[in-house]
Structure 1
Amino acid sequence: MQERPPSTASWAISAYVGRVAAWVLVLALLIAALCAWRWSVTEAWAVLYAALLSVINMLILGSRLLALPVAPAAAGKRLGGAVLQRWVFTIVALLLAVAWLKLPVPGLVIGFLLAHFVYLGFMLRERSRKRR
């Protein structure tokens, strides 16, 4: 299975994922500080845990996008594997967070929503740039 040579589009995806991940982590630190001040430190840890989990998910998918094979069937299998890997990783990590680490669910939800809203904001910004 041949892999594509690095292209401009691949590096753009990598830079995009990196920018989104950086924004998620910075905002997660700010929101975690706010949660620690307002509620408890365990809420803050839950926000950081969920945000880091989201960033790891983005990095998994970003790394798979950079190494897509040339053949469409193989590329589909690789992306399908990445999605399956992300789901399994997320479910196991959330079970670990709730059952073993005893992190509060509202903090986990806040961390996931933060990551998804940052990603949505980046997508909307890119879409508006392309329309110009």
Structure 2
Amino acid sequence: MTISILLAALAAWRWGREEAYAILFAGILSVINMLILGNRLMALPASPQGATLRIWGAVMQRWAVTIVGLILAIVWLHLPIIGLVAGLLVTHFVFLAFLVRERNRERS
């Protein structure tokens, strides 16, 4: 979220307030997605069938939250698509980078 705030500040300075709001909205949407996934992964059942269903449910829930959030942002809030895409990509890539770093740390 910190990277989203910094990127939003840069966007507000360079392009305007609407792009900054779009980046912040997408960053918050991305954090909500990660919390949904983390919550589901922390409570995985012992059976492989149950774990598969739980992960599948988390993925579907994340897609639903993302699609509804983006529709809300574009149609109702009239946020620019470029800012939304930038916010989603930055937050997901930062999350991915931290996952890779943690995985490498565990292997060492």
Q: Do Structure 1 and Structure 2 share a fold, with TM-score over 0.5?
A: yes
Deviation at 1:131, TM superposition (A): 4.5
- 1:41 aligned onto 2:17: yes
1:55-70 matched pairs, under 5 angstroms = 55-70=31-46
- Which residue number corresponds to residue 122 of structure 1? 98
**Amino acid across the alignment from 1:41:** R
Q: Distance in 2 between matches of 1:130 and 1:63?
A: 21
Q: Deviations over 1:5-59 (max 9, x none)?
A: xxxxxxxxxxxxxxxxxxxx11111111111111111100000000110000000
Residue of structure 2 in register with 1:82 after alignment: 58
Aligned residue type for 1:30: L
Structure 1: runs of 5 or more not aligned: 1-24
Runs (4+) of structure 1 moved beyond 4 Å? none
Q: State the percentage of identical aligned residues.
A: 57
What is the total number of aligned residue pairs between the two structures?
108
Name the SS of the counterpart of 1:124 in structure 2: helix
Q: Distance in 1 between matches of 2:103 and 2:44?
A: 24
**TM-score, scaled relative to structure 2:** 0.93
Question: Which protein shows a greater Rg?
Answer: 1
TM-score (norm 1): 0.77
Q: What is the root-mean-square deviation of aligned Cα atoms in Å?
A: 1.2
Amino acid at match of 1:68: L
Distance 2:104 2:63 in 1: 30
Q: In the aligned structure 2, how far is the partner of 1:129 from the partner of 1:55? A: 23
Displacement of 1:123:
2.6
Deviations 1:73-129 (A, max 9, x none): 111111111100111111111011111110001100110111122022113323432
* Structure 2 unpaired stretches of 5+: none
